[in-house]
Amino acid sequence: MINICNCKNDTLIMKDRNKTLGEFIIEKQEEFKYSSGELSRIINAIRLAAKVVNYKVNKAGLVDIVGAAGEQNIQGEDQQKLDVYANEVFIQTLINREIVCGIASEENDDFIAIHGKAGDDNNKYVVLMDPLDGSSNIDVNVSVGTIFSVYRRVTPMGTPVTLEDFLQPGDQQVAAGYVIYGTSTMLVYTTGHGVNGFTLNPAIGTFYLSHPNMKYSKDGKIYSVNEGNYIHFPQGVKDYIKYCQMEEGDRPYTSRYIGSLVSDFHRNMIKGGVYIYPTSSKAPNGKLRLLYECNPMAFIAEQAGGKASDGYGRIMEIQPTELHQRVPFFCGSENMVAKAEEFMAKYK
């Protein structure tokens, strides 16, 4: 017996899945608030830089790109060679396109003010990024990623950017996304109109729409936290972990933790789960950076129907006070994050 399907819907789905990232950007241009083409060009620049970094990541182990670079970043973390390389590629690609007026990177002490050839500062947007998240895992062939965030500047056009342009709360983002370099390379992003994922076809170097309208399930069965730090966690987190492990209803949940934020986030968004990097006695403010990691991931999570919190309130409402500010991070399926907040509130 032949099953009759809804051919019209199937045709639309197949048509969407054959769409390239470039075609998708052009089609959605009208959704970019205030933009007259710059935001599209920023996404295109990130696409180009991602392909360059992807090429290098896939050669890790064959060329001298693996291991420590011998220096530390502003956070006192050892920089990997690929950290330095990815940082240079993304910064230079954005500068060459002359489409942003400023860039801030997790790997740089301060922001970079960019001036056009004419010496003016008329570009509207600033980009903040973690050029290679999870780079310490590259030695063991674990997925790594790039995280980016785009804001409209708040200082007058025609003047140099200032710190004020970068210290904006996450709810002012106009775009955010990540690239995951794994078994396949994907670029996932949002401009505030849902979340879409594009997979790179390495044979022709083109990203195709493979995951349209990505969504978190309201509930999930995965919790992602470094349980090796359990003894250092606040009591609310300890209680939530015990709740996840309790045999009751649809629990116990499955514990999955990779150690690369992009990888853990990506899996949980597809399968349903919660990612937690809390404060601890070893990291009193948490470890993840608000501007380079938490805000962009929170924007994506909310656009996908998820939730992102510092354990007590919405991540994207936090007013940043410094470029490399750290915060605790609870992110994922809405009901799972809400339940974690319940446990945290008991000890507030």
Of 164, 158, 199, give the one whose Cα is nearest residue 51: 199
Amino acid found at 330: F
Q: How many Å is the maximal CA-CA distance in the chain? A: 70
Half-sphere exposure in the Cβ direction for 239 (13 Å, CA) = 12
Residue type, 171: D
What span, in angstroms and rounded, lies between the C-alpha atoms of 235 and 218?
A: 25
User: How far is the first Cα of the chain from the last one, in angstroms, to the nearest whole number?
Assistant: 61
Distance CA 136, CA 102 (A): 27
| Separation between Cα atoms, residue 199 and residue 187, nearest integer Å | 6
Annotated binding site for Mg(2+): 106, 130, 132-133, 293
CA distances from 240 to 62, 166, 183, 301, 326 (A): 43, 34, 32, 21, 22
Binding residues: 106, 130, 132-136, 226, 257, 287, 293
Alpha carbon distance 174, 307 (integer Å)? 18
**Can you read off the two tokens belonging to residue 99?**
């489409």
Q: What sign does the CA torsion over 21, 22, 24, 29 have?
A: positive
* Eight-state DSSP code of residue 251: P
Question: Is residue 189 a contact partner of residue 154, using CB atoms and an 8 Å limit?
Answer: no
Q: Which residues are annotated as a binding site for substrate?
A: 133-136, 226, 257, 287
Q: Determine the residue type at 195.
A: V
What would the two tokens of residue 65 be? 């790109």
Cβ–Cβ < 8 Å for 153, 35: no
What are the structure tokens assigned to 115, written together?
A: 């001036």
